[in-house]
Amino acid sequence: MCSYQKLYYHENIGYVFRCVHCKCLQLAFGNVLLTFEESMLGDFMQVLDMHEQSYRNMPDEGVRQIRIPLPFEGMALLLSKSELRQLIHMTDGADTELRVLALMETFGDLKI
């Protein structure tokens, strides 16, 4: 049974939770919920960054024309430039929290 730990939360944007047992992440953004292994977060972040670079000079912030493919045939996220930035901010926040937790676990095992 999953027991979730908050990595990132914003009431208007979404959240990223991690199951402390299976180490899967649950990312809720808008009306989309993605669940994937913790080890895939870095790859997902690279895809988001790549698309952010590709659409950097896109003039319209609010038009949903950025297509982020998902690992399922025929499925993709369709985002605006501002939504993509929000999603990048979420994943960066979750990644930072994971790194802090890993450091705490490492140093928590040390006897001084």
**pLDDT tens per residue, range 28-38:** 999 999 999 99
Query: Closest Cα partner for 20 from 109, 105, 110, 89?
Result: 105
Range list of H helices, 66-108: 81-108
Q: CA-to-CA distance for 46 and 58, rounded, in angstroms?
A: 19
**pLDDT at residue number 12:** 92
Handedness of CA 100, 101, 103, 108 (dihedral sign): positive
3-state helix, strand, coil in the chain (%, to 5): 40, 30, 30
Lowest mean pLDDT among 38-42, 66-70, 92-96, 107-111: 107-111
66 forms beta bridges with 79
Q: Which two tokens stand for residue 41?
A: 């977060």
Q: What ranges do the domains of the chain cover?
A: 4-108
> What is the Cα–Cα distance from 35 to 21, expressed in whole angstroms?
14
The CA distance from 23 to 41, in Å, is: 11
State the pTM of this model. 0.89
Q: Is the pLDDT confidence value at 20 over 80?
A: yes
